[in-house]
Amino acid sequence: MKDMANLFETWSLDREIVLVKVLNHPRDKVFAAWMDPKALAEWYGPAGLSIESHEADIREGGVWRFDMVGVFEGRQQRFPNLMRFLEIVPNERIVMDYGTPDPDDPDRFRATVTFDEQADGKTVLTLRQLHPSAKRRQVVIGFGAVEYGLQTLDGLAAWLDR
């Protein structure tokens, strides 16, 4: 895998996508939904896609390798994904590199999830993506990454509400 450290050293707004969701649950419960591989596979991903986990080692230095699976244009398709967990601060923050299982994936991006508990017991979850270039950010916005990300956070909210 290429060293991503230099690429993500400077946070640049023209490469960033930010998604925010207020969840009606305390942050320890919201954080736990990210740390439990079984739970994560139940709620993660855009509407209409299911998750098939191949490896789920959710800890600093661990990886989650999974496929998003769905039917498009009448046929089943698989989208291989890999999250490499770089930093996990319980109930506060998760930092990961996210892309395909290809170790040299040029489109891999840095994702940071923060959990801010409010006085009323709700949690503001903020998901920040830092893409390798402004051009790549525009590509992912163009194929629906913002909407798919919001659907993923809606899935988390629905899972927590059960």
Q: Hey, what are 116's tokens?
A: 């801010």
Least confident of 47-51, 71-75, 80-84, 145-149: 71-75
Q: Check pLDDT > 90 for residue 73.
A: no
Residue ranges per domain, the chain? 15-161
Confidence of residue 72 (pLDDT cuts 50, 70, 90): confident
pLDDT at residue 107 in the model: 96
φ, ψ (nearest 5 deg) of residue 147:
-60, -45
What angle, rounded to 10 degrees, do the helices at 145-161 and 134-142 form? 60
Give the model confidence (pLDDT) of 81-119 as tens digits. Answer: 999 999 999 999 999 999 999 999 999 999 999 999 999
Q: Hey, what are 86's tokens?
A: 């770089």
Write the burial class of residue 66 (CB in 10 Å: 0-12 exposed, 13-18 middle, 19+ buried).
buried
Mean pLDDT, residues 132-154 taken together: 96
Confidence of residue 161 (pLDDT cuts 50, 70, 90): very high
Q: List all residues 6 or more positions away from 111 whose beta carbon is below 8 Å from its beta carbon.
A: 83, 95, 96, 97, 98, 127, 128, 129, 130
Higher pLDDT, 6 or 134: 134
- Per the listing, tokens 């506060």 go with 92
φ, ψ (nearest 5 deg) of residue 109:
-130, 160
Euclidean distance between CA atoms 96 and 56, whole angstroms: 14
Residue type at position 107: D
Report the CATH superfamily, name and number, of domain 15-161. START domain (3.30.530.20)
Pairing of strands 93-99, 109-117: antiparallel
pTM for the model: 0.90
